[in-house]
Homo-oligomer: A and B are copies of this chain.
Amino acid sequence: MVKVTFLKLGYIGATTLIDALFDERSSRKNITLRVISSGVKMSDEEARDTANLAVTIPTDLYIVVSPNASLSGPKIAREILKETGKPIIIVSDEPSRKTLKKLPEEYGYIVIYADPMIGAKRALLDPIEMAVFNSDVIKVLAVTGVLRLIHTEIDKVIEQIQNEVPPEMPRIVVTKTKAMQYSGIENPYAYAKAMASFEAARRVATLSTEGTYKVEGKENFLPILAAGHELIRYAAKLADEAREIEKANDTVSRVAHFRNGNLRSKTKLFDTYKK
C-alpha cells in the first residue's frame, strides 16, 4: 500500500482531478490518497499552514500542485515537505519551467504548457465563468495527452515505491510534442487537431497574463481576457473533435487501472484490456 499525499495550493486546470486520475473507478487496492488544499489561495502563510498539515499525514510520496511554482508559497511548501525525506513531485504550469528545471535532482516535476491561467479580473470572472473555463481546460488536458502523461509517469514512481526500488523522479516539460506522445490518438488529423488544441490553450495563457497584469483600463483588458476565454472554449471544441474522430474509428485509447494498480490498455471499445 503506497500512500500518496497531494498538496494543492491555488488552482491550475490539472488541480481539479489530479488525484482522481490514479484510481478512476475507486478500485485500486495498492494506494491510499490524501489531498490537502488551501483552495485558491497560495500565499506564504497558506502554503506553510497546509504543508505543515501535510507532513502529519503518513505519506510515501508527495505531489505538490500549484500555479507558478516559482512563487514563494509553493517554494515554502516544498521545503517543508522536503524535511520528511519523502519523494516530492511538483506539478505546475509554464511560468514554473525555469525554476523547476533548476531544482535539485531529487525533486520530480511536470511542467504543463497547456494549462493556462484564467482571466483573473473581476470584470470577467465570477464563479460560473471560472467553472466554465475549467471545464474547457480539463477537456484539453484530457484529450491532448497531458493527464495521461501525469498519471502514467507518477504511476511509475508509485510502482517503484511499492517495489521498494528507489524511485526515478520524472522531470518533464510537457510541450505539445511531449503531451501528444501520451495522447494515444491514431488518426493523423485527429492528432493534429489535438495538437492545435494544445497550442490554442497555450495561447490563452498569453492572453490571460496580458489582460490580467499588463493592460490598464477595463475597456482594454476586458476584450483580451474574454478573448482568452473564447479561445479556450474553442480549444476544448478542437479536443472534442479529435476525440470524436477516434470514436468514429473505434480507436479510442483506454489505459485503465486494475485492482493491483497495474495499467492495461485497449483500443476497440469491446476489446479486452491487455498489458
Residue A21 at the chain B interface, CB threshold 8 Å: yes
- Total interface residues on A, CB under 8 Å, equals 108
The distance in angstroms between the C-alpha atoms of A253 and B132, with both chains bound, is: 13
B residues less than 8 Å from A103 (CB atoms): none
Which of A80-88, A92-100, A139-147 lies at the binding interface?
A139-147
Q: Which of B36, B200, B230, B268 contacts A36 (CB 8 A)?
A: B36
Most B CB within 10 A of own CB, among A37, A206, A231:
A231
**Cα(A207)–Cα(B17), bound, Å:** 23
Contacts of A192 in B (CB 8 A): 223, 226-227, 229-230
Query: In the assembled complex, how far is the CB of residue A154 from the closest CB belonging to chain B, in whole angstroms?
Result: 11
Whether B151 lies near A222 (C-beta < 8 A) is no
Contact check, B8 vs A126: say whether CB atoms are below 8 A apart: no
Indicate the member of A17, A196, A243 with the most B CB atoms within 10 Å.
Answer: A196
Contact across chains for A203 and B199 when beta carbons are under 8 A apart: yes
Q: Indicate whether A111 reaches chain B with its CB closer than 8 angstroms.
A: no
Q: When chains A and B are docked, how far (Å) is the Cα of A162 from the Cα of B200?
A: 42
Interface residues of A in 100-157 (CB under 8 A from B): 120-132, 134-136, 138-139, 141-143, 147-148, 151
Say how far A38's CB is from chain B's closest CB, in angstroms: 7
Tell me the bound Cα distance from A42 to B33 in angstroms. Answer: 11
Could you name 28 residue pairs across A and B whose Cβ atoms are closer than 8 Å?
A: A16-B17, A19-B37, A19-B40, A20-B39, A20-B40, A20-B130, A23-B40, A24-B126, A34-B50, A35-B39, A53-B56, A122-B256, A125-B256, A127-B255, A128-B148, A128-B254, A131-B139, A135-B236, A188-B250, A191-B226, A192-B227, A192-B230, A193-B230, A195-B223, A195-B226, A199-B206, A199-B207, A218-B270
> Is residue A248 within 8 Å, beta carbon to beta carbon, of the partner chain?
yes
| B contact residues around A16 at 8 Å (CB) | 16-17, 134
A62 at interface (Cβ–Cβ under 8 A)? no
Of the residues B8, B27, B196, B226, contact of A35 by C-beta under 8 Å: B8
CB atoms of A141 and B131 under 8 A apart: yes
**A10, B35: Cα distance in complex, Å:** 11
Contacts of A148 in B (CB 8 A): 127-128
Q: A161-199 CB contact bits vs B (8 Å, 1 = yes)?
A: 000000000000000110010000001111111011001
